[in-house]
Amino acid sequence: MTLYRRVLTGQVAPGKHGEFLAAVEAALDYQAQRGIEADFAVWDSITGPASQVEIVASFDSMQELEQFEELAAQDQTFSDLRRRVRQAMVFDSASVQIFRRFV
């Protein structure tokens, strides 16, 4: 059961959708190879700003979420892959939120 969700909301830079998706796929493959078992999804807006996206990671435990955060902070290759994702995004609208299951 999903207990925690990490959501990155932002906008893909104009003309960068292909680059964005390739970078997300590379980062997801890398983290899966390192034991991150979270369920990841990328949502693309069909109303509102045309380039708005949400990268949603669902974790079954706080330990899994912390494992992801540790990989992001300590693994240079993973940091480089995540940087590629961010380089394809517009930062004036990006945000990260952590949610916990309430009901």
Check which CATH number belongs to the domain holding 34 and give it. Answer: 3.30.70.100
pLDDT in tens, 72-82: 899 999 999 99
Q: What per-residue confidence (pLDDT) applies to 47?
A: 85
Q: Range of 27's domain?
A: 4-100
Q: What is the pLDDT of residues 17-62, one digit of tens each?
A: 999 999 999 999 999 999 998 899 999 988 877 788 999 999 999 9
Q: Structure pTM?
A: 0.82
| Counted domains in the chain | 1
Please, which pLDDT band fits residue 6 given cuts at 50, 70 and 90?
very high
Q: What tokens does 32 get?
A: 């899966």
For 10, the enclosing helix (H) or strand (E) is strand 4-12
20 with 85: CB under 8 angstroms? yes
